[in-house]
Chain A
Amino acid sequence: MNKKSMYLSIGLITMILGIMLAIQFRTNRYIEQGVPADRAQELQVELSKLERDSRKLDREIEDLSYKLEQAKKGQLQAEAAVQDELKKARINAGLITVSGPGIEVVMDNPSNQSRRSSIFIIRDEDLLRVVNELRGAGAEAISINGRRLISTSEIRQAGSFININLERVEPPFQVLAIGSPDKLKSALEISGGLVDYFKDLGIEVKIQSHSSLTVPAYHKNLQFNYAKAVRKG
Chain B
Amino acid sequence: MKLKPFHLALALVGLALGVLLSVQFRVTRDTMNTPQISRVQTMAVKVNEARSERDRKQEQLDKLRADLDKIAGGAELGPFREDLKNARIEAGLSEVQGPGVEVTLNDSNTIAKPGENPNLYVLHDEDILRVLNELRAAGAEALAINGQRVLAISEIRCTGPTILINRNQRLTPPFIISAIGHQDNLANSLKMRGGVIETLQFWGIQVNVKKVSQVTIEPLSGGVSFDYAKPAAEGQKLQ
Contact = CB atoms under 8 A, between A and B. Distances in A.
Nearest to A59: B225
Contact of A98 (B98, B221, B231): B231
Interface stretch (B81-89, B103-111, B113-121, B202-210): B81-89
Contact of A150 (B9, B74, B90, B221): B90
A58 B216 CA distance: 25
A62 B43 CA distance: 28
B67 A68 contact: yes
A87 B231 CA distance: 9
B153 A135 contact: yes
Given A75-B76, A89-B84, A233 B67 contact: yes
Determine the interface band of chain A, counting residues with CB < 8 A from chain B: 35 or more
A37 B47 CA distance: 18
Contacts of B225: 56, 59, 92
Nearest to B21: A20
Interface residues of B, number: 110
27 contacts: A9-B10, A17-B16, A17-B17, A27-B28, A34-B34, A53-B221, A53-B222, A54-B50, A57-B222, A65-B64, A71-B72, A82-B68, A92-B91, A98-B231, A99-B233, A100-B228, A128-B130, A140-B229, A154-B137, A178-B229, A216-B238, A226-B98, A226-B99, A226-B182, A229-B88, A229-B95, A230-B96
Interface of A: 6, 9-10, 13-14, 16-17, 20-21, 23-24, 27-28, 30-31, 34-35, 37, 39-40, 42-47, 49-54, 56-61, 64-65, 67-68, 71-72, 75, 78-79, 81-83, 85-87, 89-102, 104, 124-125, 128-129, 132-133, 135-136, 138-142, 146, 149-156, 163, 176, 178-180, 213-216, 222-233
